[in-house]
Structures are given as structure tokens and as C-alpha cells.
Amino acid sequence: MSLYGREPIDMTMDNTAQNTSMKRVLIVDDVPRNIDLLREILSEHYQVQVAKSGRAALDIIAHKTPDIILLDVMMPEMNGFEVCEIIKSNPETADIPVIFLTAVTDVENEIKGFEVGCVDFITKPITPITTLSRVETHLRLAENDQRNKSLIASRTQELDDALESAVSMLGEMGHLNDTDTGIHMWRMADYSAALAKAAGWDEERVELLRLAAPMHDTGKVAIPHSILKSPNKLSEDEWKIMKSHTQIGHKILSKSEAPLFQLAAEAALGHHEKWDGSGYPYGLMGEKIPESARIVAMADVFDALTMERSYKKSWSIEEALEHIESSAGGHFDPRLVTLFLSIKDELKNIQEKWRKKEQELVQK
């Protein structure tokens, strides 16, 4: 079965063009004399494949991708425009340059051709100089385009890696006194992303929250060690300082106008607010608390409960979910609690994924 549908392959390859370093040109035309002429022009310079119908062309493309396609516009059953639309709709073949072969030179056909994705036209009657020039030009342009895309992809990956590193550093700033920083941050981020997805967030915003969530405690970097690690109950003044980490984190993160850091700032400011208004720093109630903060708050508490610390044993997932369910309408948004309970299996999978990563780190 091909990518485009099943049909016997109608394909020929010029015997003189066996050099695998040669570019492959696919000629698609239902008129034998046109095929013969084009093959004669091109076979000295390129590997030539031939299809006598649109369906056959799609089968050839699915089996062995050509570097460029010369495609007749007027063909029975499936015309060139339809074939081109199918080629361009498939991400695997969308970048193949298509040159239309046509005897019709009106403006409407040209507009239609470019709309469906062709790069050029060769007007019949076909001439060697024009054909070779157009093919060579568009192969070179396609190579340059692919080179640029690869460069952009490489640079984008470098930027993504740098951004993730920056997020890790900011996240760890807020957990300088914790013994389980990186694993906790990214596990909690995965819980946040899973809940955001269940809440109907689009994929792009879910991924933004996955990166933003680890930065929610950034403001703790400004809280004195004596308060963060105090073994005693905090005094009123100390508690006031402790609570200020939400506003400090917001101040730090909101200095950037990038959507990621704006979302992180929002979560940092509101992740200690509670649905019933008993949280801090502003005592916001209900939906006045940004949903990002409500999500991060729940994920953070869930992860803290299920994580073993020097001063406590870890809770089971079931115990942690029971606690969260009992806190619906008080600490947590009731709707988000229901959604969180509904993704229990996903939460287990996330926990198991990070448990294995922890083991790998210990073994190293």
C-alpha cells in the first residue's frame, strides 16, 4: 500500500543514468512522444523516472522520492493540479519542486498552478535549453532551501536546549536548599502539563506551561536560608518574608515579555492562592486566580505528597489523590480536581518515568 493509494507502478528508468549521485527527475505525462523527448533531454544529466498517469506518479513517489517532478497539467482521470495538491499535502513530499508542463499559457492556469504549489512552468513545445535550465535552477534552489531549513532546525534546537537550561537554572534557584531539585521540577512540570491538557489547553500552551511550571518558586532565591530551613514555626514577621517569594518571583520573571516567562510569572505569583480565598499573597478567590497558577498549585502539592523527604515518607498516589479530592472547593478548583482524578493512570506513568530516570542518575 502506498502513501497515496494502491495502483500498479508505471515506471521506467533510463539505463544510462545509473549513477546514484545523479538527481532523480520524475516525468509525468500521458503522451509518449513528450516522454521520449524529455527523457532524451534529461537522461544524460539525471536519473529519469517516468509515469504515464497521476496515480502511477504517486506510487513512484511513495516508493522512491524524486528530487524534482515535471508534471503535465492535462491528463485523464487525475490532472496535474490534483496530483500536485496531493504531493504538497503530504509533509514527506511537500518540499519536492514541481514544474508544470503545459500547452496552455493563460493567466488562470498559472494562478491555479502556483496556488497548488508548483515552482515554475515549462511551456510546450518543449525545448532542451529551457528544460535543462529550469530543472537545474530549481534543483539548486531546492538544495539551498533544504540547507537553510537544516541550519534553522539546528539553530532552533540549540535555542531550545539553551532555553531549557535557563529554565532549569531558574527553577533550581528556587530550590537551592532542596535535595531533590531537577527531578522534582520536571516531574511536577509533567503533572502540570497533563492537567492543562485535560483542562482543554491547546498543545502549544501546554508545552509552555511544562517549561513555565519549574520556575514557580524562583522568588525563594531572595528568602534567607534561616527562614527557608528553620526547624521551628515561623514568627509572624518571618512568615511575611516567606510569603513574599511569590511576589519576588513574579517581579523577576515578568521582566521578560516572552509568553513563556509571562506564564511563569503568573504561576509564580498565584500558586499559593486558594480557591476559597484563604491563600496568599492577595487572597484571591475562585476563577480570579489564573488557571495556570491553579494547575501548578495542584501539581506541586501532589508531587510534594508523593515524594519522599528526609522528614517524611512518600504518600501513595491513591492517598495523595484522596487528599486533593478532599481539598476541592477549599484549596483547589473543584473542576480541576475532577480532571486530575480522571488522569490517574497518566500520573502513574509520569511518576514511573521519573522514577526510572532517578535510578539511572544514581547508577551513574
Where do the structural domains in the chain lie, given as residue ranges? 24-149, 174-363
Distance CA 319, CA 321 (A): 5
Cis peptide bond upstream of 224, omega within 30? no
Burial 84-98, CB ≥16 within 10 A → b, else e: bebbbeeeebeebbb
Query: Hey, what's the cell of 184?
Result: 522534582
Does the predicted TM-score (pTM) go above 0.75? Answer: no
Q: What CATH class has 24-149?
A: alpha beta
pLDDT of amino acid 357: 83
Q: What CATH class has 174-363?
A: mainly alpha
pLDDT of amino acid 3: 40
Angle at Cα 349 formed by Cα 346 and Cα 354, nearest 5°? 130
pLDDT of amino acid 2: 41
Nearest by Cα to 245 from 265, 259, 231, 263: 265
The stretches in the chain having pLDDT less than 70 are 1-20, 156, 159-182, 310-311, 362, 364
pLDDT of amino acid 128: 94
**Strand-pair partners of 47:** 24
pLDDT of amino acid 8: 39
Q: Whose grid coordinates read 543514468?
A: 17
74-127 pLDDT, tens digit per residue, is: 998 899 999 999 999 999 999 999 999 998 778 888 899 999 999 999 998 999
Distance CA 315, CA 191 (A): 16
Percent share of the chain, pLDDT over 90: 65
Contact yes or no for 317/351 (Cβ under 8 A): yes
pLDDT of amino acid 146: 85
Query: Hey, what's the cell of 90?
Result: 503530504
Nearest by Cα to 117 from 145, 83, 140: 83
**Order of strands, sheet of 47-51, starting from the edge strand that comes earlier in the sequence:** 47-51, 24-28, 68-72, 98-102, 120-123
Q: Which DSSP helix (H) or strand (E) runs through 100?
A: strand 98-102
Q: Whose grid coordinates read 504549489?
A: 117
